[in-house]
Structure 1
Amino acid sequence: MSATEGSGAHAGEPATMTAEQKAAYDREVYEYSGKAAVADLTTTFAAILLIVIAGLEILQGIAAIANDSIYVKTPDYVFEFDVTVWGWIHVVLGIVAVFVAVGILRTQSWALIGGVVIAVLSTFANFASIPHYPWWSLTVIAFNALLIWALCTRRARPY
């Protein structure tokens, strides 16, 4: 640490500042701390939302695996698939999403990208299931859109 740093009122603040410089420095610190708080809250919200989405994916998958007939069969739909396979896809997406959410809570940069990827894959999987359970699928798709927004609006911090 240099002789001119660290002896001010704030850590890292230069010791010799004019009143105008100190006011500008204080404004910068205050503004940044507010932005950092919003970024942290948005990221925490995204992680918790991803855990909720993961739970919904896992429940949806278990229901499909346990009983193929629980989902309505629709004729002439472009995306035809075995409901059991579709259920396993949801279970795997849900389990991976839980791990990614923990990474987001631990502020891992890979987890932010992973969260967006999981949300996109979950959106595709739920889009394919719209004819079976439209309201449920649309609800999960809406959660995914909110998750993508929350992860993409996080601001990078310089530290």
Structure 2
Amino acid sequence: MTFSAETDRVVRQERTPGGAVAAAILLVTVGVLDMLQGISAVAADQLYFIGLEYLYKFDTTAWGWIHIVTGIVLILTGIGLMSGTAWGRVAAMSVAALSIIANFMSLPYYPAWSILVIVLDVVVIWAVATWHSQAD
């Protein structure tokens, strides 16, 4: 079966590139990790390390709800990113940046988990920012 170059070009533009799918899956993973972090904070405050006094100190239950909501938004944005649209790309980078800020602010309470999520968010932002679609 023979296809013209025009038909082949249209088919390639409709598919979401592999890098975008990988970034979307990673964004959903970060969302799940953020939700687990939030559930852990809401369910059992004693799992969190309470260290030095910080200017932006919140109750760990408040941080838990912040992370649960952030996780849900990350998951929904990751699903939207799989469509490969420009708004999905902008939303993914914006929400990942907000997740970095939230995890940086909760760093004193659970440092290892927050650093892991921050690193994954940076990878998502890098993957989405360097992705060049056929339409660009």
Match of 1:40 among 2, 17, 42: 17
Quote the offset at 1:53 in angstroms.
Answer: 0.1
Q: Is 1:142 matched up with 2:119?
A: yes
Q: Quick one: which amino acid aligns to residue 11 of structure 1?
A: S
Quote the offset at 1:84 in angstroms.
Answer: 1.1
Give the equivalent residue in structure 1 for 2:4: 11
8 Å Cα contact 2:45-2:60 kept in structure 1: yes
Quote the offset at 1:143 in angstroms.
Answer: 0.4
Paired with 1:153 and 1:123, the residues of 2 have a C-alpha distance of 19
Quote the offset at 1:138 in angstroms.
Answer: 0.9
Give the equivalent residue in structure 2 for 1:129: 106
Q: Greater CA radius of gyration, 1 or 2?
A: 1
Give the equivalent residue in structure 1 for 2:81: 104
Instruction: Within 5 Å, give how 1:89-100 maps onto structure 2.
Output: 89-100=66-77
Q: Could you list the runs of 4 or more consecutive aligned residues of structure 1 that deviate by over 4 angstroms after TM superposition?
A: none
TM-score by length of 2: 0.85
Give the equivalent residue in structure 2 for 1:72: 49
Paired with 2:78 and 2:39, the residues of 1 have a C-alpha distance of 20
Gaps of 5+ in 1: 1-8, 14-28
Q: Which moved more, 1:77-86 or 1:138-147?
A: 77-86
SS at match of 2:75: helix
Length, aligned pairs only: 129
Q: Quick one: which amino acid aligns to residue 71 of structure 2?
A: G
TM-score by length of 1: 0.73
Paired with 1:42 and 1:126, the residues of 2 have a C-alpha distance of 25
Give the equivalent residue in structure 2 for 1:61: 38
Q: Quick one: which amino acid aligns to residue 60 of structure 1?
A: Q
Greater relative CO, 1 or 2 (CA 8 Å, sep 6+): 2
Paired with 1:41 and 1:136, the residues of 2 have a C-alpha distance of 27
SS at match of 1:76: coil
Give the equivalent residue in structure 2 for 1:51: 28
